[in-house]
Amino acid sequence: MAKSSVPRRVWSARRGLGRAAVASATSRLRPMDPAGAVILITGGSSGIGAATARRFVRDGATVVLVARDEQRLTEAGEALVAEFDAVDRVAWWAGDVTDEDRIREIVAAAAERYGRIDVLINNAGRSIRRGATYAVERTHDYRRTIEANYLGAVTCTLAVLPGMIERRHGRIVNVSSISTQMYSPRYSAYVASKAALDAFGEVLAGEVATRGITVTSVKVPLTKTPMIEPSRRVQPGPALTPAQAAKLVARAVRYGQPTVSTPAGRVGRYMTETFPRWSRFTRQVEYLAFPESAAAVPRTDRA
């Protein structure tokens, strides 16, 4: 009975599977127009989130911003309203993505005001640059990072998912990192949290494809935001502007492909998978070439 029900269930879902196959094959030919869409962006008060919001308001979307710092969030929202004369297309609510009750309140309020949420951009997060050997008594570093970067995004996703399923349409965009393609040393807490989010997104994508919902991981390279400035002081390197990173996020919203990456990220992934031992060796060289962040080293170890 159980065995015979499997093909029966697949057969009953054939129309949804067909739509999903067609949507996947033609995503480049039929991009989503953000004009008129309702887009919720977490971490929207600065950096990539604020730049992404500006891009979409400019393109005619309605944007809902969420961030912890109410003052900075209000400043970001008011700046958008003033620049684009978009008082009816910009809203903001202060909230922490790790607070499930608050996130559900915000999603409900946004849906009540605008009727729906078409796109969720999970952008809020935190980064910690500390080698694991200096974190042996700091498991809270990993816990905090997982809570913000992974569980917070999961909370937001689960809050918007019922509405998307009901309308049989939606985009979920997870702002991940190029570090999940090449495993940067000293970022074990950060990379692991983003890798967990990527895995969640892949599993979810396989469950909701027939419901008209896409899930995209955006492998953003190092970006000039307040979050990474302490790291750049001890390990300088090229970085995108927030506007450049926002362009990658916009591509994810328009086309809904599984992954948005850069040439550097794709090369890094290829090298990691094809030459794993050599990749580990080069990461060891990188680890030895740059110092630990001052805040990461116990005072007794500082010379």
Q: Does residue 190 carry a catalytic annotation?
A: yes
Q: Which residues pair with 120 in a beta bridge?
A: 40, 172
Burial level of 162, CB count in 10 A (0-12/13-18/19+)? exposed
Please list the pLDDT of the chain residue by residue as tens digits (303 residues). Answer: 455 576 676 666 666 656 655 565 555 557 999 999 999 999 999 999 999 999 999 999 999 999 999 999 999 999 999 999 999 999 999 999 999 999 999 999 999 999 999 999 999 999 888 988 888 899 999 999 999 999 999 999 999 999 999 999 999 999 999 999 999 999 999 999 999 999 999 999 999 999 999 999 999 999 988 766 655 555 566 789 999 999 999 999 999 999 999 999 999 999 999 999 999 999 999 989 988 876 666 655 544
DSSP 8-state secondary structure symbol assigned to residue 125: -
Whole-number pLDDT of residue 53: 98
Torsion, Cα of 186, 190, 196, 201 (10° steps): -130
Q: How far apart are CA 107 and CA 163, in angstroms?
A: 10
**pTM of this prediction?**
0.87
Which domains are present in the chain? 17-301 (3.40.50.720)
* Alpha-helix runs per DSSP H in the chain: 2-12, 14-25, 47-58, 70-84, 100-114, 139-145, 152-167, 179-182, 188-208, 229-234, 242-255, 263-274, 276-289
Catalytic residue among 150, 190, 255, 287: 190
